[in-house]
């Protein structure tokens, strides 16, 4: 399988760091382009273009960290900060706009009421993605 | 940068942050915009019929019809304005660009009043519908008003926390709402419609001229929702196409359904019944009037649940709308930034949500005792909304006069030439009509006169003090879209 454009949505967990390392390894094979996005979700009581400084700062710090990891892997990535009502549709929309042929998401192990829980964003992306999706599940002991 | 480059309408202006910039993801389509708008407009018929009947009596369908024509004018104005200026803020945005910041503030502040009253009225009319399940909700002003206040408090809390609202819920609610209303109209026409009876009920209960005009003013409450759709512009791609399209769909749906429901209501009951027993839950009155017991047995609980749900969504929409508007006004230095402060954990504008919820609760307080609280809320709403609509019409005309070259992806037709400029007739008539009706309300309605004027004066004082503190001129003119590069 060849991937020419890989979209990696990040939220700031260790799973993202592992996911970007994997993306870099995949990209090297096919000289692919990697796009990393952080989505700031805006509640409906605020306008969509509301600038929430702490959230933007947090997103930038996360993207900075991801850039450092990519540098360590000798890869070039393009990072972007998005603002949207929901992360899921924003990620799918970004994949469509970029023409991504792979979405690679790091998934942290989470439980809810004792059951493994993927959240709402991952199922949305799996259901609506216009391309292949790889979930990188972080191993925990 | 290409010197000939001009931003297209709908293009966002990005603020670069080092090598990164944030981009907005807009995902709403025409159905979601229509649903958000209809969710507001469609909900108001659940109380508008009754509130209009309080004064217009037999002429309720006429008042709604005339208000409907004004609604078309206003919707067209909003369609042009929103397509040209796809920002949150509605008439406040139009006024800021068409005149100056002070005008933008006045329009925005008037709009905020109408939003707050919408919250109060929507919450106030939920208990009467739920009275089907427990009569004291409808019969007891104490219990009913307390429940309304509880609803506002509950919504305030969930909006501070920031519970997700999906467009699927809005679309679903709009579909069920339209289906139910259309069904009521069709069934009503089949089972109840009697032209001679209807005619006599209208003619024999014709109001005075003053009450007819007041009825038209109150009927404007039936058409809340234009601002919601204008706010949705920032959430959709190609707002210059999608918002006008959604607005036109809404005009058609609303006028057809409201005309049908108002005629069916006067076929189902006398104007006196509509203005008294069923004033706060008129659609329940229609359902109760059908001559088939099995049908009323199905419809009455269905309407109770549906109306309660739709009105809850509308109350919530009002709360979200006003907090967005306050944030938008704050971001343009029209209101103190304290109202734009975001909760560090919940990421919601908690101060504006709490403040406006408290004001909505205060507006509900008279309902414990005063029999005319419902009508007073309606006239107060009309005071705010008509003032905001006046500014919207005036701003469109001003922009046509001063900036005819601005891109207008949706341009109102039926123009006349005044001093070489094309001026839309609908905006001229809309401005004249809303101004006249607003003045009549100001003169004839003491409650809305004093509360409304107090609100506006308080707002102007806040604006004056805030602008002085920020060393900003009071009538600073905001930049053109074309200047924003």
Which residue of A9, A38, A45, A95 to mutate against B (max B Cβ within 10 Å)? A45
3-state SS, residue B425: helix
Supply φ then ψ for residue B408, to 5 degrees: -125, 90
* Closest Cα in chain A to B162: A43
Helices B101-124 and B141-161, axial angle in degrees (round to 10): 130
pLDDT reading at B361 higher than 80? yes
The pairing of beta strand B16-17 with beta strand B20-24: antiparallel
Structure tokens at A120: 């709402």
Q: How far is A141 from chain B (nearest CA, A)?
A: 30
State mean pLDDT over B265-291.
Answer: 90
Least confident piece of the model among B27-31, B149-153, B214-218: B27-31
Structure tokens at B224: 């809340």
CB A125 within 8 A of CB A105: yes
pLDDT reading at B8 higher than 60? no
Bridge partners (DSSP) listed for residue A104: A134
What pLDDT, on a 0 to 100 scale, did the predictor assign at position B3? 41
Highest mean pLDDT out of B18-27, B105-114, B412-421: B105-114
* Residue B376 CB coordination number (10 Å): 19
* Closest Cα in chain A to B155: A45
Highest mean pLDDT out of B68-82, B90-104, B139-153, B280-294: B139-153
Question: How much of chain A is in helix, strand and coil states, percent to nearest 5?
Answer: 40, 30, 30
pLDDT reading at B5 higher than 90? no
Q: What is the pLDDT of residues B307-325, one digit of tens each?
A: 998 899 889 888 988 988 8
CB B254 within 8 A of CB B223: yes
Count of the separate structural domains present in chain A: 1
CB contact under 8 A, A80 and B23: yes
CB contact under 8 A, B344 and A54: yes
Q: How many residues does chain B have?
A: 485
What pLDDT, on a 0 to 100 scale, did the predictor assign at position B132? 93
Helices A53-72 and A14-30, axial angle in degrees (round to 10): 50
State mean pLDDT over B222-247.
Answer: 74
Residue identified by tokens 């009754």 is: B50
Upper half-sphere CA count for residue B438 (Cβ side, 13 Å): 20
CB contact under 8 A, A90 and B344: no
The pairing of beta strand A77-84 with beta strand A102-107: unpaired
B346 touches chain A (CB under 8 A): yes
What pLDDT, on a 0 to 100 scale, did the predictor assign at position B118? 92
Helices B373-402 and B446-469, axial angle in degrees (round to 10): 50
- Structural domains of chain B in order of their starting residue, each with its CATH number: 25-406+421-469 (1.20.1740.10)
pLDDT reading at A85 higher than 80? yes
**Which 28-87 residues of chain A touch chain B by CB within 8 A?**
39-52, 54-56, 59-60, 63, 79-86
Least confident piece of the model among A24-33, B79-88, B134-143, B426-435: B79-88
Of B40 and B291, the structure prediction assigns the larger pLDDT to B291
State mean pLDDT over B89-99.
Answer: 89
* B235 contact residues in A (CB cutoff 8 A): 48, 85
Highest mean pLDDT out of A70-74, B151-155, B401-405: B151-155
Q: How far is A93 from chain B (nearest CA, A)?
A: 7
pLDDT reading at B287 higher than 60? yes
* A54 contact residues in B (CB cutoff 8 A): 344
What pLDDT, on a 0 to 100 scale, did the predictor assign at position B481? 45
Q: Could you please report the per-residue DSSP string of A76-110?
A: -EEEEEEEES-HHHHHHHHHHHHT-SEEEEEE---
Upper half-sphere CA count for residue B29 (Cβ side, 13 Å): 5
pLDDT reading at A61 higher than 70? yes
Q: What is the CATH number of the domain that holds A25?
A: 3.40.50.620
Q: What is the ipTM of this complex?
A: 0.80
pLDDT reading at B406 higher than 90? no
Which residue of B25, B155, B169 to mutate against A (max A Cβ within 10 Å)? B25
State mean pLDDT over B128-151.
Answer: 94
What pLDDT, on a 0 to 100 scale, did the predictor assign at position B168? 66
What is the span of the domain harbouring residue A116? 5-137
State mean pLDDT over A17-34.
Answer: 92
Q: Count Cβ atoms within 10 A of the Cβ of residue A5 and give its class: 0-12 exposed, 13-18 middle, 19 or more buried.
A: middle
Q: What is the pLDDT of residues A113-137, one digit of tens each?
A: 888 888 889 999 999 999 999 999 8
State mean pLDDT over B440-446.
Answer: 91
């Amino acid at each position: 399988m060849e991937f020419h454009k890989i979209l990696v949505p990040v939220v700031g967990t260790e799973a993202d760091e592992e996911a970007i390392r994997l993306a870099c390894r995949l990209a090297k094979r096919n000289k692919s382009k990697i796009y990393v996005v952080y989505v700031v979700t805006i509640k409906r009581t605020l306008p969509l273009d509301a600038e929430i400084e702490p959230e933007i700062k947090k997103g930038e710090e996360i993207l900075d960290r991801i850039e450092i990891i990519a540098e360590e892997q000798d890869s070039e990535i393009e990072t972007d900060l998005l603002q949207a009502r929901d992360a899921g549709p924003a990620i799918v929309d970004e994949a469509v706009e970029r023409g991504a042929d792979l979405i690679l998401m790091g998934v942290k192990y989470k439980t809810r009421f004792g059951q493994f829980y993927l959240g709402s964003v991952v199922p949305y992306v799996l259901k609506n993605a216009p391309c292949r999706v790889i979930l990188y599940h972080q191993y925990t002991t | 940068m290409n010197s000939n480059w001009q931003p297209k309408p709908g293009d966002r202006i990005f603020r670069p942050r080092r090598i990164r910039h944030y981009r907005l993801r807009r995902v709403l389509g025409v159905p979601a915009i229509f649903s958000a708008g209809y969710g507001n407009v469609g909900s108001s018929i659940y109380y508008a019929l009754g509130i209009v009947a309080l004064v217009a009596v037999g002429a309720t369908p006429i008042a709604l019809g005339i208000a409907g024509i004004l609604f078309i004018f206003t919707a067209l104005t909003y369609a042009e304005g929103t397509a040209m200026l796809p920002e949150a803020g509605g008439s406040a945005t139009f006024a800021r660009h068409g005149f100056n910041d002070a005008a933008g503030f006045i329009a925005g502040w008037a709009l905020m009043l109408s939003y707050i009253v919408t919250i109060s009225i929507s919450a106030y009319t939920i208990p009467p519908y739920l009275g089907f399940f427990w009569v004291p909700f409808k019969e007891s002003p104490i219990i009913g008003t307390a429940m309304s206040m509880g609803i506002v408090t509950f919504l305030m809390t969930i909006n501070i926390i920031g519970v997700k609202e999906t467009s699927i819920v809005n679309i679903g609610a709009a579909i069920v709402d339209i289906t139910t209303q259309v069904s009521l109209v069709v069934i009503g026409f089949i089972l109840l419609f009697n032209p001679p009876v209807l005619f006599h009920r209208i003619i024999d209960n014709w109001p005075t001229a003053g009450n007819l005009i007041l009825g038209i003013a109150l009927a404007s409450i039936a058409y809340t929702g234009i601002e919601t759709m204008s706010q949705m512009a920032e959430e959709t791609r190609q707002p210059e196409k999608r918002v006008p399209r959604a607005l036109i769909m809404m005009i058609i749906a609303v006028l057809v359904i409201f005309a049908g429901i108002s005629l069916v209501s006067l076929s189902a009951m006398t104007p006196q019944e509509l203005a008294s027993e069923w004033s706060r839950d008129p659609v329940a009155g229609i359902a109760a009037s059908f001559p088939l017991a099995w049908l009323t047995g199905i419809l009455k609980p269905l309407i109770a649940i549906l109306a309660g749900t739709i009105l809850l969504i509308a109350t919530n929409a009002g709360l979200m709308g006003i907090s967005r508007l306050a944030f938008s006004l704050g971001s343009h230095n029209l209101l103190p930034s304290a109202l734009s402060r975001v909760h560090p954990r919940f990421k919601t504008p908690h101060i504006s949500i709490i403040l406006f919820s408290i004001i909505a609760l205060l507006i509900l307080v008279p309902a414990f005792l005063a029999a005319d609280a419902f009508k007073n809320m309606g006239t107060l709403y009309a005071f705010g909304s008509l003032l905001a609509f006046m500014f919207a019409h005036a701003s469109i005309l001003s922009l046509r006069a001063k900036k005819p070259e601005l891109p207008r992806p949706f341009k109102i037709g039926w123009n006349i030439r005044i001093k070489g400029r094309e001026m839309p007739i609908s905006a001229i008539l809309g401005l004249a009509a809303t101004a006249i009706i607003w003045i009549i309300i100001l003169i004839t309605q003491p409650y809305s006169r004093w509360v409304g004027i107090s609100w506006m004066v308080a707002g102007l004082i806040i604006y004056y003090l805030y602008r002085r503190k920020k060393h900003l001129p009071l009538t600073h003119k905001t930049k053109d879209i074309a200047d924003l590069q």
